[in-house]
Amino acid sequence: MSFEVQDLYDVIKISILLALEDDPRLRLDELESRLRELYGNEVGLDPAEIRKALSELSGEGLVVCKDGVLELTEAGLKISEDWRNLLLKSEPVLEVVAGLTDGTVTGLITVISSHLAGLSSKLTVFASLLALTSVAVTNFSSFFLGGVTEDLSEVVALRRLMAYSLSDHPDKRQVSRSLKLLGRLYRVLYREIRRANVLSAALSGVATLAAGFVPIALYLALPPPFNLLASIAVVSAAILALAKYRSSAARTHFKRTLAETLLVILLVVLVSLLLGLNA
């Protein structure tokens, strides 16, 4: 399947891939019903056009039909996920990474600061709640407001590029119908992008609280020196998980990602502690 959206059938194929990703087993009549619901009657999508698009997807090895049921192949599933991430920004990579990083750093700084200053349990609880809550709320508000703005602006730019590519087709009637389909598709996508941004922002806040709360809770619950050792062990595990997630999302080498993640977190913690000691 061409990455460039060149004609009406490319728009239909994208819609089919997204529909099959939502529901991996659909009969042809169910798929046609989904597409009619998506596009309404203003475009007049012909069942023959849907079948032709399906035939092209099948020829490209992205969709198979088994006993009258349409399914994505392994390659089709990957392509549909890539299209969904491109159009919807649905994978909250930045939000998860930021939440885990901020929570880990905040938790580690709180534990080390409390240990060095010899704070009581009450003061440690107060300081940790204040720090974690402020970081989590800041992450949520930043990713919600900034994420919606950024994602919508990128999607608008992508829509313009698709529309420009479609407008180059010699059949002007097909161009008009393709642009109408694209407009309907993006109206649905805008709503889903806003919903996805709320969930991503909330996920960032939850990740921040979880990553920071666990080491602090262990530090308060266990006797010394096991409390400090347990907290550092949990933080180390969180750093490993964070590096693994970053490596998987970016498809980079794990050891390199781990070294980079560890260096950044240690540098941030060191600078924060030095600033605190000099305050």
- DSSP, collapsed to helix, strand or coil, labels residue 212 as helix
Q: Which residues are within 8 A (CB) of 150 and not within 5 positions of it... i.e. 6 or more apart? A: none
Of residues 173 and 66, more confidence is placed in 66
pLDDT tens profile 220-248? 899 988 998 999 999 888 888 888 888 88
Whole-structure pTM value: 0.65
pLDDT tens profile 173-211? 777 877 777 777 777 777 777 888 888 888 889 989 988
pLDDT tens profile 116-149? 888 888 888 888 888 889 999 998 988 888 777 7
For the chain, domains (ranges, CATH) are: 8-87 (1.10.10.10), 89-278 (no CATH)
Pairing label, strands 69-72, 26-27: antiparallel
Mean pLDDT value across the chain: 83
Nearest residue to 114 via CA among 47, 28, 212, 197: 212
* Position 275, amino acid: L
pLDDT score recorded for residue 233? 92
